[in-house]
Structure 1
Amino acid sequence: MIDMVLATSTNIYCERNGMPDIPMECSIRTCASAGYEALDFGFVEMVKQPDRLLCDDWKQEIIHYREMADNLQVRFVQAHATLYDFCNPSADALRLDQMMRRSVEGAAILGAPWIVVHPSTRIKQGEAALDTHEMNVRFFQELADYAKQFAVGIAIENMWGKTIEGVKRYAIEIQELIGLVDAVDRPNVGACWDTEHGSIEHLDQARAIRMLGSRLKCLHISDESGPDAVHILPYMGRIFWPDILQALADIGYKNPFTFEIQHYLPGVPGPLVPSAMSLSVETGSYMISQINALKRNSL
C-alpha cells in the first residue's frame, strides 16, 4: 500500500490581516521549513498582479519557483488555475483565457501533474441558463486538449454558494460534477473535492466522495465554522472528519492529501507562525494515518 503525501497550497502563508500579502518565495520557504514536502501552487494568488502572467518573460518567474522548490527538496503535486467566469465573457475574456492557459503551461513547468479549475455558471435574464452544462463541457474539452500537450490533467472543482445575481452555482451538486466530468470524457480530466465547499452546502460528503470514486484526482482539505471562518485547519470547524476519512479509505484514494487553508494564519502573530505551521503538518499527518489505518482494516 502506497501512503499518500501531505501537501498544502502555497496560499497557507499568503494573507495577513492589515498587511500586504506574503511573497510566494516566503510562503514556499516557510512551508518547507515546517516540514511540507509537497505543494499546490496558487496561480490565483500570483495573478493578484495580472501582468505577472501576461508579460513576455512570465515563464522566468515560474522557473524561479521550480528551482527554489528543487533546492528546498519540495515538489509541486498540483496547482490551482486562475479564475475565469468563461460562461459569462467580459471585455477581459482574451486576457483571462490567456492566463488560464498559462496556468496550465506553468503547472507543467513546475512539474505539477494536475491543475484545479473552477466550472462556470451562465447567467441569462437573472437565472442559470439551460446551456450552462454544454458550455462547461466544451470549455473543459478544449482546455483538456490544450493541457494534454503539457502532460497536465484538469481537475474540476465542486462549487459553493451563489453568483452575484443570486443564482445557485453550477456543479455544487455531486450529480452535476460527475455529469460534467463524464461528459467531458477526456483521460486527463477528473475531479477535485473541496471539503469546505461541501460543508457550506450541507452535502453528504462521504457519499459524494464514494460516488466520485476513481474520478477523484485532487483534494482541497479545509474546515469551516460559518461564513466568516472558512478554509481553516481541520478540527477547528464543524466538519465531522471520520466519515470523510472513511470514504477516502473506501475508494482507495492515494493521491495527495492537500490542505487549502488560507484563512488559518492571517491573524496569527509572526513569531507564532512556525509553530502554527508545524501544527498543520501534524494535523495532516494524523489524518493520513487515520486513512491508512482504515484501509488496512478493510483488507
Structure 2
Amino acid sequence: MRLGTSTTMGFNRPHGVKADIPDVVRILAEAGFKVQDMNFHDCSNFPTPLLTDKWESWVDDIGNTAAKYGVEFSQSHLHFYEHMTADAETAQWKETIIERCMRGSAALGVKWAVTHAATAPGPQMRGDSLKGNVAYFQKKLEFADKLGIGIAIENLWDWNIAPRKRYTSQPDELVELVDTLNVPNVGIAWDFEHASIMQQDQVSALQYIGKRLKATHVSDQYGIKADHQIPYFGETDWESFMWVLSEIGYEGDFVYETHRYTQNMPDDLMPAALRFSVEVGNYVMALANHKK
C-alpha cells in the first residue's frame, strides 16, 4: 500500500482559481506524491481542455509530466451524474465526457477508475436503483474491459441530499451491486470520510467488503462545510480500523481526496503543507500493521 493523492489537492486554489493539471502533477510529485489519482470529475465541472476538442493533447501533456516526475496514476475519478433521472440531452453530453474520462484513464495507465452509482426516485429506491445501475454499469464495464481498466464504485453519503436516502451509502447496497455485476473488472472504492459521516462501523464494513476493495479515498471531516481534510483534522478515529486493511489483504493504494486542506492555502505555503500531509499519511498507513 502506497500513499497517494488526488489531483484535486492542487487543482483548487484560493479565490476559486483552478490550476493547470500538468502543474498540479509536478507540484504534488515534488512534495513526495509519486502515486496520484487523476480526478477527471473536477475537471469536467470547470472550463478545462477536457470539455473541448483539445482533450486528447491535454491528457498527453498530463502523461508526459507524470513520466518526467516519476508519477504513477493508479486511480482516477470519472465524471458522474444521476443517469436514471437526467434528460436525454444532458445524458448525451455527460456520456461524451465520461467516455473521454475513461479513455484518458487508460492512456494514463490507470488501474481502477472510481465512479458513483445513481439513485432511483420513488418508494422502491433500493430495488429500482439496483436494476438501473446494473443495466448502466454492464455497458460501462464492457467498454472498460476493452480499454484495460477496472471500475470501482464508491460508497456515498446521505448528508448532502438529506432527507432523501442515497443508493450505495450503505455497504450492503454497494456489495449487492458489485456482486450482481459479477465481472473481474468491477470493485469497490471505499471513502473513509463518507463512512465516518454515516457513522458506520468501518471495521465490520471493510471486513464485509473484503477482496472487493480496489481503491480508497482518504479524508477527514468535522462538518458539512469542513470536509475533505487530511487525517486528524477531523473526527475520524483512524486507529480503530486501519488494521483491517491488512487483515483483508487490500492490494491498492491509500489515496488522499483532501482538497479543502489546500484550497485556501497560499502558493508559497503549498510545498510545506503538502510535505506535512505526506508525513501524516505515512503515519496513518503504518497503523495498518497494528491492531488496536
TM-score by length of 1: 0.92
Provide the C-alpha distance between the structure 2 equivalents of 1:162 and 1:236, rounded to a whole number of angstroms: 19
Give 1:92's aligned residue: 90
Q: Secondary structure at the match of 2:14?
A: coil
**Once the two structures are superposed, what CA deviation does each residue of 1:13-63 show, in whole Å capped at 9, x if it has no partner?**
122332412221221111011011110001012212467335334211111
Q: Deviations over 1:215-270 (max 9, x none)?
A: 00000011001111101000111000012211112112121111110111122233
Q: Hey, what does 1:192 align to over in structure 2?
A: 189
CA deviation map 1:75-115 (0-9, x unaligned): 11110001221111223110101211221111000011110
Cα pair distance change 1:162/1:131, threshold 3 Å: farther
Q: How far, CA to CA, are the matches of 2:238 and 2:126 in structure 1?
A: 35
| Residue in 2 that maps onto 1:161 | 158
- 2: CA distance, partners of 1:78 / 1:89: 27
Tell me how far apart the structure 2 counterparts of residues 37 and 287 of structure 1 sit (CA, whole Å).
17
State the match for 2:78 in structure 1: 81
Aligned twin of 1:230:
227
SS in 2 for 1:92: helix
Give the whole-Å Cα distance in 2 for the aligned partners of 1:220 and 1:209: 13
Number of the residue aligned with 1:272: 269
Quick one: which of 81, 95, 102 aligns to 1:104?
Answer: 102
- Please, which moves more after superposition, 13-22 or 200-209? 13-22
Residues 44 and 51 in structure 2, CA contact (< 8 A), matched pair in contact too? no
Alignment-mate amino acid for residue 14 of structure 2: N
Which whole-Å CA distance do the structure 2 matches of 1:190 and 1:289 have between them? 24
* Rounded Cα–Cα distance in structure 1 between residues aligned with 2:161 and 2:234: 26
Q: 8 Å contact 2:22–2:61 — kept in the other structure?
A: no
Aligned-pair Cα RMSD in Å:
2.0
SS in 1 for 2:252: coil
> Is the contact made by 2:187 and 2:213 (CA closer than 8 Å) also made in structure 1?
yes
User: Which residue does 1:290 correspond to in 2?
Assistant: 287
Task: State yes or no: 1:250 paired with 2:247.
Answer: yes
Q: Given residue 101 of structure 1, which amino acid in structure 2 is its aligned partner? A: E
Structure 1: runs of 5 or more not aligned: none
Please report how far the alpha carbon of residue 163 of structure 1 lies from its aligned counterpart in structure 2 after TM superposition: 6.8
Counterpart residue number, 2:50: 53
Q: CA deviation at 1:124?
A: 3.8
Secondary structure of 2:147's counterpart equals coil
Q: Gaps (5+ residues) in structure 2?
A: none
- Structure 1 stretch displaced more, 67-76 or 160-169: 160-169
Q: Give the aligned residue type for 2:70.
A: Q
- 1:151 corresponds to 2:148: yes
- The one-letter code matched in structure 2 to 1:48 is N
Opposite residue 289 of structure 1, the aligned amino acid is: A
How far 1:130 sits from its partner (Å)? 4.1
Letter in 2 for 1:93: A
**How far apart, in 1, do the equivalents of 2:7 and 2:165 lie?**
29
Runs of 4 or more off by more than 6 Å in structure 1?
none
**Residue identity opposite 1:9 in structure 2:** S
Q: From the two aligned structures, give the one with the greater helix fraction.
A: 2
**Could you say if the C-alpha distance between residues 164 and 195 of structure 1 is closer, same or farther in structure 2, counting changes exceeding 3 Å?**
closer
Whole-Å separation in 1 of the counterparts to 2:11 and 2:210: 32
Shift of 1:165: 7.9
Report how many aligned residue pairs link the two structures: 291
The answer on 1:66 being equivalent to 2:63 is yes
Q: Structure 1 residues 121 and 164 mapped into 2: Cα distance closer, same or farther (>3 Å)?
A: same
